[in-house]
Amino acid sequence: MKKTSTRLADGRELIYYDLRDDTVRDAVDRRPLDRTVTTSGIRRDVLLGDAVAVASHRQGRTYHPPADECPLCPTRGGRLSEIPDSSYDVVVFENRFPSLAGDSGRCEVVCFTSDHDASFADLSAGQARLVLDAWTDRTSELSHLPAVEQVFCFENRGPEIGVTLGHPHGQIYAYPFTTPRTALMLRSLAAHKEATGGENLFDAVLERERADERVVLEGEHWVAFVPYAAHWPYEVHLYPKRRVPDLLALDEAARTEFPQVYLELLRRFDRIFGEGEPPTPYVAAWHQAPFGALEEFDGVTRDDFALHLELFTVRRTSGKLKFLAGSESGMSVFINDVPPERAAERLREVASS
């Protein structure tokens, strides 16, 4: 992997990640852009104990542009975009309309390929590995920023999820706090460790899931399963078999196998609703241990946390979406219409031949 860092016309950082070491990236951003002005701030909810990012400048972000005006495609001819070069393998750049900025953290965009009509599932194993390497590198770099406590790499796919740019891409949020969902995991981890005299809850869950009927696919170094208490109609968790706290700690064997396992998982997601259906909308979310202090979670260290990816779709059946209505949105109690065992069975049925 070759990494080349440059600056866009308004001062934002852009980084090329290339498969070839001899690739030269010297294209200049020719757009007449002013410096970006953001109004992001963090507000604490004292009743719930969580945080809300307020970012009013995002109201003006690019919204469903036509394909020939996509800002994530390479710059070609007279059409200038966020990526100054005429082609790229993987690109990461600071979001022009960030939810988090400055003392409130940082937001980045990850473009998986220059092919506007592709998806992550269309990538080759080499391209998918390059994305993994980019995620890892950005996790390392962002973790050293003074304001950052947790790094979250994720992909939103499909207009049903709220995606406003059709080009295959993901995002990275660097939060200035430990996110509420991670805090819940850490509290459960601490309570289980104390109650069992030191047993790791992630290890116990993974052992139980591997022994059950909800395993979707398994490699030498990774295992994917529908969790016992899945929140979404089709939800899969992907774990490395060797517990590590973050992407940085994955060994070479796990990195090498990841593309085959993950690409197969994504391709099965595109087949679960049958032929002729639109691409399956999904969220793919990496859970990594926070880089900040963990004193509030008694007896828990970063090494107790287990890196894993959660992949889920908001589609519950052909032509129907799972909406977060009263119980989910009002009380955070999910109601799942698809039994996890049936979801796992279906995802095994649509395996590649």
Would you please indicate which residues are annotated as catalytic (active-site) residues? 169
- Tell me the two tokens of residue 127: 């391209």
CA distance 92 to 12: 11
DSSP symbol at 248 = G
Which helix (H) or strand (E) is 196 found in, with range? helix 180-196
CA distance 90 to 277: 28
Comparing C-alpha atoms, which of 121, 119, 153, 157 is closest to residue 282? 157
Burial tier of 132 (Cβ tally within 10 Å: 0-12, 13-18, 19+)? buried
**Whole-number CA gyration radius for the chain:** 20
- The number of beta carbons lying within 10 Å of the beta carbon of residue 344 is 23
